[in-house]
Amino acid sequence: MTTRSLTSIRALVIDVDGVLWHGDRALAGVPAFFDFLRARQIAFTIATNNSARPASEIVERLAALGVKVDADEVLTSAHATALYLPRLAPRGARVLAIGGDGLEDELTRAGYALVDQNADIVVVGIDWDLTYDKLKRAALEIRRGAKFIGTNADKTYPGAEGIIPGAGAILAALQAATEVAPLVIGKPERAMYDIAVEKMGAARNASAMLGDRLDTDIEGAQRAGLTSILVLTGVTTRESLAQSTVQPDFIFADLDTLREAWLRGY
- Residues annotated as catalytic (active site), given as ranges: 15, 17
> Measured between alpha carbons, how far is 266 from 262 in angstroms, rounded to an integer?
5
Q: Identify the H or E element spanning 184.
A: strand 183-184
Q: How far apart are CA 118 and CA 46, in angstroms?
A: 35
Question: How far is the C-alpha of 2 from the C-alpha of 150, rounded, in Å?
Answer: 32
Whether the CB-CB separation of 48 and 58 falls below 8 Å is answered with: yes
User: What dihedral do alpha carbons 55, 59, 32, 80 form, nearest 10°?
Assistant: 10
Cα Rg of the chain, angstroms: 18
Cβ atoms within 10 Å of 174's Cβ, excluding its own: 21
